[in-house]
Homo-oligomer: A and B are copies of this chain.
Amino acid sequence: MAKVESPRRARRHDPERRQRVLDAALDVLVSDGAAGITHRKVAARADVPLGSVTYHFASLADLLARAFARYVEQRTAEFENLFTAVHTRDDLVEVLVDLVQGGPSRRRSAVLGFELHLAALRNPDLRKLTQQWTKDSRAVLARFTGPEIAGRLDALLEGMIMHALLTTEPEPREMTRAAIVQALGPASGSGNDLGQ
């Protein structure tokens, strides 16, 4: 019978530890921000000895950079995924409204996004990351809207998500939808398809 997992495993070989530490770092970023992350908090969160964190990552900045990289990777894939089922303009609108109104489930993602943006403001390496991320996101959107609309849509979404994060009175779904529909511009064709 399997032994119950003890709170501090002494496993000498733990190939996924790096990943677990990175996820723990993201958890800490969500709750305490880039301002509040420390080796110790990450180690505690990952249930790993302190030395293990400094062993696997050259510095806290390095850990942060790799954690953010992991986040962007995951989020890009997730974002991509969101659009696989989009076939009509209405599908697109619905997906984007969900993105903004996402509720607590997407709060984590959103917070990390803004943490990354702010950190990137003063860290060139992270700036590269945000630029690639922005480029990729817009590319996904552009498949449905063309590049110009994609850019403004992206900005609008970002602003709306930030506001959603901070407000106590969430915007009605209908208003979010209207804003998105307007940003998408007039439907190009007569039908409901995306007209590409």
Contact = CB atoms under 8 A, between A and B. Distances in A.
A152 B166 contact: no
A117 interface: yes
A122 B34 CA distance: 12
A165 B178 CA distance: 27
A117 B120 contact: no
Interface stretch (A18-26, A86-94, A179-187): A179-187
Interface in A163-192: 163, 165-168, 171, 175, 178-179, 182-183, 185
A117 B114 contact: yes
B175 A127 contact: no
A4 interface: no
Contact of A175 (B120, B131, B148, B158): B148
Looking at chain A's contact residues, the main secondary structure is helix
Nearest to A128: B168
Interface residues of A, number: 41
A148 B178 contact: yes
A155 to B, nearest CB: 3
Contacts of A148: 175, 178
Contact of A158 (B111, B115, B120, B163): B163
A152 B131 contact: no
A168 B33 contact: no
A183 B130 CA distance: 25
Contact of A35 (B35, B175, B183): B35
Given A35-B33, A151-B171, A117 B158 contact: no
Given A162-B158, A182-B183, A115 B114 contact: no
A166 B35 contact: no
A-B pairs, 4 with minimum CB distance: A155-B159, A35-B35, A159-B159, A158-B159
Contacts of A48: none
A25 to B, nearest CB: 15
